[in-house]
Amino acid sequence: MRIKTNTTIEEINQSISNLIAQWGVTPEDNEIIFHKIVGLQIKKIRFMRGKTLTRLGNALGVTFQQIQKYEAGKNSTPHLKLKKICEYLSVSIDYFTKPMDDANLELTKRGKINNVYHFNNRHVAR
């Protein structure tokens, strides 16, 4: 028997915390975790706005099954679809990565960048 999880906002937040704790093992794992967190954020905002999988799917022009895959992190959510989710659910695009941003998680390691001037924490090519 499969136990249902992530059926409340509290469970989703706990799952996100658990995923953040797993960050940093390998770059491949980080990508998987990234997609799962983005998916959980989609699910959370959908719950908060009282929308069904079907309604969100119709707004994006995809099936409810595809929304389930986005929310589970099984399929990465294309940027265009994220933008449509933002418009439909009235949320900013950075909402989806906020838990990772708040924890200062990075997908790439920063090294010395050649042929670049540092200007106000931005990199400008020479």
The pTM assigned to this predicted structure is 0.83
Residue 48 lies in a domain: yes
How does DSSP classify residue 62? Answer: S
Residue 90 belongs to domain with CATH number: 1.10.260.40
Quote the CA–CA distance of 84 and 58 in Å, as a whole number. 11
Query: pLDDT per residue over 57-83, tens digit each?
Result: 999 999 999 999 999 999 999 999 999
Compute the C-alpha angle 37/60/17, nearest 5°. Answer: 10
Query: Band of the pLDDT at 113, cuts 50, 70, 90?
Result: very low
Answer whether residue 117 is part of any domain.
Answer: no
Beta strand 122-125 with 116-119 is antiparallel
Q: Is residue 43 part of a domain?
A: yes
Q: Is residue 57 part of a domain?
A: yes
Q: What is the pLDDT of residue 3?
A: 67
Instruction: Name which residue leads in pLDDT, 75 or 122.
Output: 75
Say whether pLDDT at 123 is over 80.
no
Domain hosting 25: range is 9-105
Domain-embedded: residue 101: yes
Whether 37 is covered by a domain: the verdict is yes
Identify which of 70, 41, 37 has the alpha carbon closest to the alpha carbon of residue 53: 70
State the total domains in the chain.
1
Report if residue 115 sits inside a domain. Answer: no
Residue 123 lies in a domain: no
